[in-house]
Structure 1
Amino acid sequence: MRLVRVLACIGLMSSASFAQAFETLAKSAMLVDQTTGTVLLAKNADQSVPPASMSKLMTLNMLFEALRAGRISLDTKFPVSEKAHNMGGSTMFLRAKERVSVDNLLRGIIVQSGNDACVTVAEALAGSEAEFARQMTARAKELGMTSSIFANSTGWPHPGQRMSARDLVFLANRIITEFPEFYAYFAEKEFTWDNISQKNRNPLLKLGIGADGLKTGHTEEAGYGLVGSAKQGDRRIIFMITGLNSESDRANEAERLTSWAFRQFVKKDLFEKNTRIASAKVWIGKENSVNLVSKEGITTLAPYNKNTPVKLEVNYQSPIAAPISTDKPIATLTVIPDGMEPSKYPLYAEKEVAKGGLLSRMRASAEILSKDVLGGKLFSKE
């Protein structure tokens, strides 16, 4: 068998002004259109950087997973230790020996960025913060976050606390898609605990631009950063920026980035659900070939008013051995918009192909002799 790569190119035309590349002041950044999976911006996106309080998203992920598994509930109360009480930096002003519900601790972490709340959660779930950090690192690797390691639950400066922009965007997307029942916490603008009110530090929430999450971060080492998300119409974007010099720089850059993402790009449909995208040769089957389809509609983003080429690649091992089912992917479609990172989509057999009989095996032998075992045709789209 050999890898077959079938290529095509589509020209997408739209109206309005051409979207120029975004120049960001951030030292590390990534912006993804969640709706299409298109990466609109990547700057040092795989570089491991100090994440500051943005790493609290991993602490929250661990807490959400515990809630989903039924190990705890929102009403479960965790005890506050002396260590948690004595935490510096951002806190929700927890008192030692008091017991606080998970519901309130969630708000304390998300809205108030409480380091004391994070340590309380870590100790309750894992016995110690050190063990919790070890579990965070292990879970990150399981999820494919290859640039993330954790030394604590808070993002407190430590050489062993590192994440990449790509990992943080992935984590934000996971929280939004996997735990929608908890995502509303991120849009809360203020939370009061023990008669002390604190405002959410996310600068986009008050602007009315569809922003509804997720988490800011700041240390002297990391600079000012934000993992943010916003939804307008049927599009949602998720981004991470870090390494900015001030709160105002962070706010301005986040707003500018959000505006650019929504105003400079238009969603374009490439293929409808179950559209035949390519065909592949079948090895010893009752059919000689099988059509390749996507089970979902495939869309991409294109800059306004530009005849933007979109390169398409279909990759599969040819010939595909029968029997072939319709429930397992047998090929991959890669969509590569001009100047952007590629997006990959699984392709499936349009219909099942049973294993062939003697005649099919004889035909396969003849094809081997003639060295004619490769094939595939990509349907172009105007």
Structure 2
Amino acid sequence: MDTIKVKINLGGYKVNRRIISFILILMIFASTPYRIYADDKLNIQAKSAILMDFNTGEVLYEKNSHKKVPPASISKIMTLLLGMEALESGKIKLTDNVRISSHAAGMGGSQLWLEEGETQTVENLFKAITIRSANDASVALAEHIAGSEELFVKMMNDKAKELGMKNTNFTNATGLPDDNQYVSAYDVALMSAELLKYDEIHRWLTIYMDEILVGIKKDKVQSLVNTNRLVKDYDGTTGIKTGSTSKAGYCLAASAKRGNLELIAVIMGAETSKIRFDETIKLLDYGFANYDSITIGKRGDILGKVPVHKGNISHVEAVLDRDSIILISKGDKANISKEIVLPDFLEGPIEKGQEIGRLIVRVDGHEADTIRLVSRTKVDKANFKEMLKKTIKSLLISK
């Protein structure tokens, strides 16, 4: 595909600032995708709500989505996220035996009734958090990762800042009531999307029923039934988490996938448990009825080769740094175009994963996504012998 390069150079000309400002405003409006929200049509019965596309992060519906509200057990999504990070980094293992502290065993609310001094595997703690929303298991996992719940809470808030969660503050690992603990529906969607990136978590989020032996002697059986009934009642459900307290009302962050389209719906502050599930289904149904996803490319796809000068190999392959998936409205005949931007050549050395170009995806002429193209392999700088060999080969080919 040919690459079109357009350069605008205003150097040397006196240009009216008002004209420039006007042109910039027009460009901003022209480049913004037109999205019709369904606020009036859906009439969601909750304090706040949001429907977000998992792949693009585009908001398809919102109601008071940035309002600070009590999180209840929805905050355990962050506990699970930090748990998955610790697993991936090797800091903890699923087979680790975690000793239950008096602090963890003393948690109120929803719990597994763990006893002080007993041990549970990390995997069982994940199960208890995702299925039963157990507060004691949440604190036990937090202590195992950070050493104390207080240190873990700092990790939670640091991660929230990293994800751009601007209306969130955590004070514990459980979601138990605290006047200084709050989230927004938008922030819940952000951390839910981050959690869903871990394949391992789906194994627990989608279990409907299980059981765990508890107690120092492991002589008690605790049955687990998923608090998210959408796992068995809604086609394509992939998670995520319920929450409820008298102050927070009934909350739910839910995700579902059909075909390429994966959605995250968040309901905060519904009056009853039934309402939170009904309104969540309403949001998901709206999303699946009106939108679809098109896969442009997958991470690692080779999109071109670039000649390498002064390298120990002659060419390097340019691959996609991440997946590219475009959200479109159903029924729209969108004109999707791709532009591959690569240099004429590169100088060695080149690191594996180093950015060497871009893929620009446009929908109806508007830029919808830009993905880095990176080097598939490492390229070392050529030594004298390799340079001489390449020069001789080039001369022979030119003849």
- Please report the TM-score for the alignment, with normalisation by the length of structure 2: 0.67
Partner Cα separation in structure 2 for residue 9 and residue 128 of structure 1: 46
* Contact kept in structure 2, 1:222 and 1:243, CA below 8 Å: yes
List per-residue Cα deviations over 1:275-333 (Å, max 9, x = no partner). 9xxxxxxxxxxxxxxxxx999656222155xx7999x9xxxxxxxxx999993678988
Partner Cα separation in structure 2 for residue 204 and residue 234 of structure 1: 20
Among 184, 197, 207, which residue is 1:188 paired with?
Answer: 207
* 1:111 partner SS: helix
Among 319, 332, 346, which residue is 2:370 paired with?
Answer: 346
Residue equivalent to 1:214: 240
Residue equivalent to 1:116: 136
**AA partner of residue 223 (structure 1):** G
1:156 and 2:176 aligned: yes
Assess, with a 3 A threshold, how the Cα gap between structure 1 residues 21 and 344 changes in structure 2: closer, same or farther: farther
Mapping of 1:265-276 within 5 angstroms?
265-267=291-293
Partner Cα separation in structure 1 for residue 324 and residue 143 of structure 2: 44
* 2:91 partner SS: coil
Residue equivalent to 1:240: 266
Partner Cα separation in structure 1 for residue 297 and residue 32 of structure 2: 13
* Contact kept in structure 1, 2:360 and 2:367, CA below 8 Å: no
**AA partner of residue 158 (structure 2):** A
Partner Cα separation in structure 1 for residue 158 and residue 32 of structure 2: 41
Shift in Å, 1:176: 1.3
* 1:168 partner SS: helix
Shift in Å, 1:34: 2.1
* Contact kept in structure 2, 1:274 and 1:297, CA below 8 Å: no
Assess, with a 3 A threshold, how the Cα gap between structure 1 residues 324 and 61 changes in structure 2: closer, same or farther: same
1:32 and 2:52 aligned: yes
Residue equivalent to 1:301: 328
Deviates more, 1:180-189 or 1:35-44: 35-44
Among 103, 111, 135, which residue is 1:83 paired with?
Answer: 103
List per-residue Cα deviations over 1:207-260 (Å, max 9, x = no partner). 141112000000111110111001112211111111101111112112222222
Partner Cα separation in structure 2 for residue 122 and residue 66 of structure 1: 11
Assess, with a 3 A threshold, how the Cα gap between structure 1 residues 164 and 323 changes in structure 2: closer, same or farther: farther
With CA pairs under 8 Å and 6+ residues apart, which has the higher RCO, 1 or 2? 1
* Contact kept in structure 2, 1:35 and 1:234, CA below 8 Å: no
Assess, with a 3 A threshold, how the Cα gap between structure 1 residues 146 and 344 changes in structure 2: closer, same or farther: farther
**AA partner of residue 221 (structure 2):** N
Residue equivalent to 1:286: none
Partner Cα separation in structure 1 for residue 72 and residue 246 of structure 2: 9
Shift in Å, 1:19: 11
Residue equivalent to 2:281: 255
Shift in Å, 1:345: 2.4
**AA partner of residue 208 (structure 2):** K
* Contact kept in structure 2, 1:40 and 1:261, CA below 8 Å: yes
Larger Rg: 2
How many pairs align? 314
Assess, with a 3 A threshold, how the Cα gap between structure 1 residues 158 and 323 changes in structure 2: closer, same or farther: farther
Residue equivalent to 1:63: 83
**AA partner of residue 261 (structure 1):** G
Shift in Å, 1:348: 6.7
Partner Cα separation in structure 2 for residue 222 and residue 136 of structure 1: 20
Partner Cα separation in structure 2 for residue 196 and residue 24 of structure 1: 36
Deviates more, 1:2-11 or 1:42-51: 2-11
Shift in Å, 1:181: 2.1
Partner Cα separation in structure 2 for residue 197 and residue 82 of structure 1: 23
Which has more helix, going by share of residues?
A: 2
List per-residue Cα deviations over 1:89-137 (Å, max 9, x = no partner). 0001101100111000000111010000111112222222122112211
Assess, with a 3 A threshold, how the Cα gap between structure 1 residues 333 and 43 changes in structure 2: closer, same or farther: farther
Q: List runs of 5+ in structure 2 lacking aligned partners.
A: 1-8, 11-19, 213-219, 304-319, 338-343, 348-353, 374-399
**AA partner of residue 346 (structure 1):** T
Residue equivalent to 2:68: 48
* Contact kept in structure 1, 2:70 and 2:182, CA below 8 Å: yes
Partner Cα separation in structure 2 for residue 33 and residue 72 of structure 1: 31
Deviates more, 1:111-120 or 1:130-139: 130-139
| Cα RMSD for the two superposed structures | 4.1
- Please report the TM-score for the alignment, with normalisation by the length of structure 1: 0.70
Assess, with a 3 A threshold, how the Cα gap between structure 1 residues 104 and 334 changes in structure 2: closer, same or farther: same
